[in-house]
Amino acid sequence: MKILSIRLACAFLLATTASCSEDFLTLQPKDVLTDANFFLTESDAQAALIGVYDNLQKEPTFTNFADAAEIEWAMSGDMYEMDGSAARIEIHSLNLPASNTIITNMYSGAYQGIGRANMVINRVSKMDQLPADTKNLILGQAKFLRGLFYYRLANYFGGVPLVIDELNASSKLDIPRASVEDTWKQIEADLKEAAAVLPANWTNNADKGRATKTAALGFLVKASLWQQKWDDAAKYSEEIMATKVHDLLPNYRDVFRESNENNKEILFSTQFRASVDAEGNNLVKRTAPRGAPSEFTGSAAWSNFVPQPQWVNAFEKDQTGKIKDRRYWQGIIGPGEAHQDMPNFVMPVNVPAGWSRTGFIVTKYWEAPTLNNGGVNAPILRFAEALLNYAEALNETGRSEEAMRQVNRVRVRAGLTEKPLSLTKAEVLDAIFYERRMEFIWEPTGAFSDLNRRGRFIDFIRNNRANFSQLGVDKKPWLATTPIRLPIPREAWNRNKSLEQNPHYTF
């Protein structure tokens, strides 16, 4: 689903419930368009649904920028942020004030998506003229997307205000936070309803990229892992496997190619197309090294985030010291190394600091120059993660040998030798987390959040972040909670005084 034209949908959504500003909860509707002239036909309903998908394309939500780069991989320390903006430095140094604009925009962006989904769910439910199958598919997608946005909030903030009805000018806007348990229940309810009606695979090419049964099941697995509901996580994982829709691609780099989007390894991704408007993204610009020749980088190159040496050094090597892992050779270039798709571009042996302060560049999203905003999709959930999530659930339910079989599938694709099936439970968990670390750089998994939900984050940064002694972890009590929560943004509290802050933060 290379996103369809969404201007009509956005116009309606903006006029009713979803301002494109960064206002908390988007709770300031302006009723201009009404049921009298919209939500009359299937095309109206589909246009509004596309407006919900559109919210995934915003950088604070699901573009693999704010979440994957600025938070996940920068907090774990495996990526270095080249710009040094104040908001990024706050996150990377783990200071985490409630005024941080990255956290604020991510929080409000999720509620914008929830507001749009609520409108579709409410109004499409009342469209009696729609065929039942059509209505169920639209509602299933909207519920998946609402569950996805709430998953993002629960993942970072814990319990949050649950808004599951469409709000209007007369709605009560001071909404207290729900418990984290109730927040997860709502997420599970949405995802289960979505999984029950959505297809495992869309057969029409025009629908590729829409939410599917396996995407809903995949996030049910992730929600179950957060709650340590291991049996449920294993069950949902096995339902994914039973569809036989997904598999690992033989070549790691092929997963990310724009010409190969929505391939069998992708359970869900944010859809983009190259353009000068909001249908494209900045992943190529944020990847390519600034100052490099434009014939390779295109209209702009910022090298915002680059891999840290400790991450590169963690790759398995052969007896000569050469990296064995194909994921490096298919997704990274370092000093003196040629680009995988543009062999005439070779990183200098002495990499200029402006190109990369660490000497390395991630290339998984950069396969060619782009004159406009890029069209490569942002992967949100891949089969490789589904395998490792399944492995974690199996390991926790006494099936460690089966767990290692899943881990080894990921390792074999990377060109690595299989690890023994006889590893202990603790060793299996370490193996799972190692593969997450090496597989998913600059994706919204495998770093802070996964480490955090298992209580492994502080030990990880102590052992891996070169600047750990400078972080002052012992003087930051919010890092002592299990799990670590991000602060509820001050801007949200300014609009909703019923909000309570997470422990050890202030508004």
Read off the DSSP letter of residue 266.
E
| Partners of 379 in beta bridges | 269
In a domain, 182, yes or no: yes
With contact defined as beta carbons under 8 Å apart, do 361 and 442 qualify? no
In 372-493, the DSSP E strands lie at 378-382
With contact defined as beta carbons under 8 Å apart, do 124 and 47 qualify? no
Which is it for strands 378-382 and 332-333: parallel, antiparallel or unpaired?
A: unpaired
What sign results for the dihedral spanned by CA atoms 379, 406, 219, 42? positive
Buried b (16+ CB within 10 A) or exposed e, 355-365: bbebbbbbbbb
> Two tokens at 208?
């590729």
Q: Residue 302: what pLDDT? A: 96
Residue of 335, 329, 336 whose CA lies nearest to 358: 335
With contact defined as beta carbons under 8 Å apart, do 346 and 256 qualify? no
In a domain, 373, yes or no: no
Mean pLDDT by 10 residues, the chain (507 residues): 47 44 41 67 97 97 96 97 93 97 98 98 96 98 98 98 91 93 98 98 94 98 98 98 98 97 98 88 96 96 97 98 98 98 98 97 97 95 99 98 98 98 98 98 98 98 97 98 98 97 97
What totals of helices (H) and strands (E) does the chain contain, helices first? 19, 6
Query: How far lies 46's CA from each of 35, 260, 404, in Å?
Result: 15, 25, 43
Q: Residue 335: what pLDDT? A: 98
Angle between helices 383-396 and 213-226 (to 10 degrees): 40
Residue of 226, 229, 236, 190 whose CA lies nearest to 211: 190
In a domain, 38, yes or no: yes
> Two tokens at 408?
């080894």
- Alpha-carbon distance 284 to 131, whole Å? 42
Range of the domain at 38: 7-198
Cβ atoms within 10 Å of 54's Cβ, excluding its own: 25
- Alpha-carbon distance 157 to 284, whole Å? 30
What values do phi and psi take at 413, rounded to 5?
-60, -30
In a domain, 364, yes or no: no
DSSP string, 277-341: STTSBSHHHHHSPTTS-HHHHBS-----EEE-HHHHHTS-B-TTS-B--HHHHHHEE-TT-B-SS
> Two tokens at 340?
């995988």
- Asked if residue 293 has a cis previous peptide bond (ω within 30° of 0), the answer is no
In 347-412, the DSSP E strands lie at 361-362, 378-382
SS3 406: helix
Q: Which residues contact 146 (CB under 8 A, 6 or more apart)?
A: 113, 114, 117, 118, 121, 164, 190
In 312-461, the DSSP E strands lie at 332-333, 361-362, 378-382
- Alpha-carbon distance 267 to 131, whole Å? 27
In a domain, 306, yes or no: no
In a domain, 184, yes or no: yes
Question: Which amino acid does the sequence have at 465?
Answer: R
The end-to-end CA distance of the chain, in Å, is 40
Q: Residue 168: what pLDDT? A: 84
Residue owning tokens 């353009």: 275
| Partners of 268 in beta bridges | 381
pTM of the full predicted structure? 0.94
In a domain, 348, yes or no: no
Q: Residue 23: what pLDDT? A: 41
With contact defined as beta carbons under 8 Å apart, do 423 and 431 qualify? yes
Q: Residue 37: what pLDDT? A: 76
- Alpha-carbon distance 215 to 196, whole Å? 12
Query: How far lies 148's CA from each of 60, 218, 267, in Å?
Result: 14, 11, 13
Which CATH number is 84's domain given? 1.25.40.390
Cβ atoms within 10 Å of 330's Cβ, excluding its own: 18
DSSP string, 1-46: ------HHHHHHHHHHT--SS--GGG------S-TTTSSSSHHHHH
- Total structural domains within the chain: 1
Read off the DSSP letter of residue 443.
S
Query: How far lies 501's CA from each of 26, 371, 478, 487, in Å?
Result: 20, 44, 11, 7
Q: Which residues contact 463 (CB under 8 A, 6 or more apart)?
A: none
Burial classification of residue 212, based on how many CB atoms lie within 10 Å of its CB (0-12 exposed, 13-18 middle, 19 or more buried): buried
Residue of 45, 18, 178 whose CA lies nearest to 113: 18
With contact defined as beta carbons under 8 Å apart, do 255 and 263 qualify? yes
Radius of gyration of the chain (CA): 22
Q: Which residues contact 276 (CB under 8 A, 6 or more apart)?
A: 372, 373
In a domain, 109, yes or no: yes
Q: Residue 277: what pLDDT? A: 76
